[in-house]
């Protein structure tokens, strides 16, 4: 039953990011790879600053990513060219995006439709990713017990 006091009110979901700066992150795995496509796309997307790494995605320590994460402020959005440029695994990706969300920072991938946590649909997709990562961890845990 609807409350008459709610008539005319809109109920909005508070989403992180979107109101501040767009900060880019670009990564290639080897020095032989060209990062210019990523950088051009991030610049066209309005990124005011772009952090870079030349490192395998499997490496836990990436100086450019660490600097980008430290630089971001509430209201900012971290932008990547492609989602696999950010995370080493689904669990790592979800962890990074969840940390950003808890700090009031959004996340957007330019080439992956719907990967924008500053929108309701993008936030939903990341909740699904989180559930899949938890499922994956549970399967691994069960296999190690068997």
Return the active site residues: 29
For the chain, the three-class secondary structure string (H helix, E strand, C coil) is: CCCHHHCCCCCCCCCCCCCCCEEEEEEECCCCCCCHHHHHHHHHCCCCEEEEEECCCCCCCCHHHHHHHHHCCCCCEEEECCHHHCCCCHHHHHHHHHHHHHCCCEEEECCCCCCECCCHHHHHHHHHHHHHHHHHHHHHHHHHHC
Please, are residues 49 and 23 in contact by the beta-carbon 8 Å criterion?
yes
Task: Report the distance separating Cα 69 and Cα 17, nearest Å.
Answer: 13
């Amino acid at each position: 039953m609807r409350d008459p006091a709610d008539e005319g009110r809109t109920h909005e979901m508070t989403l992180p990011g979107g109101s501040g700066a767009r900060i880019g992150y670009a990564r290639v795995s080897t020095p032989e790879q060209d990062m210019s496509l990523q950088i051009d796309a991030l610049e066209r997307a309005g990124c005011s600053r772009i952090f870079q790494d030349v490192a395998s995605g499997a490496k836990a320590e990436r100086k450019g990513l660490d600097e980008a994460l430290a630089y971001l402020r509430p209201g900012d959005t971290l932008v990547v060219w492609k989602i696999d440029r950010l995370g080493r695994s689904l669990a790592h990706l979800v962890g990074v995006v969840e940390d950003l969300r808890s700090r009031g920072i959004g996340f957007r991938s330019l080439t992956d439709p719907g990967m924008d946590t500053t929108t309701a649909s993008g936030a939903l997709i990341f909740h699904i990713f989180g559930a899949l990562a938890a499922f994956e961890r549970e399967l691994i845990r069960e296999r190690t017990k068997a």
